[in-house]
Amino acid sequence: MKKAIAIGEAKTNLSKLIERAEHGEEVVIRRGPRPVAKIVAFEPPPEQPLFGALAGSIRIGENFDDPIPGFEPYTGEVSDPD
């Protein structure tokens, strides 16, 4: 870890410290001898798809909820022996 900066010095040089963080440096701030905070560059979260973005483009087949052959023991249904 690089040398931590006192809070008073950080207040005086905040713009410079932010610039350092923008260039990838992690700036540690201390209160007395103890590190208490860190300034780092902001990384936006990954873009999330909008809710409903696929509306109208997905179709459900007419047989979507038909029983699946061979699954009768799990569903309790009895299949027709046709």
Question: pTM for this one?
Answer: 0.54
Measured distance CA(29)–CA(4) in Å, rounded: 5
Residue 2 CA to chain centroid, in angstroms? 29
3-state SS assignment for residue 10: helix
Residues 24-71 pLDDT 10s: 999 999 999 999 999 999 999 888 878 888 888 888 889 888 888 888
Question: How many Å is the maximal CA-CA distance in the chain?
Answer: 85
Q: What is the pLDDT of residue 22?
A: 95
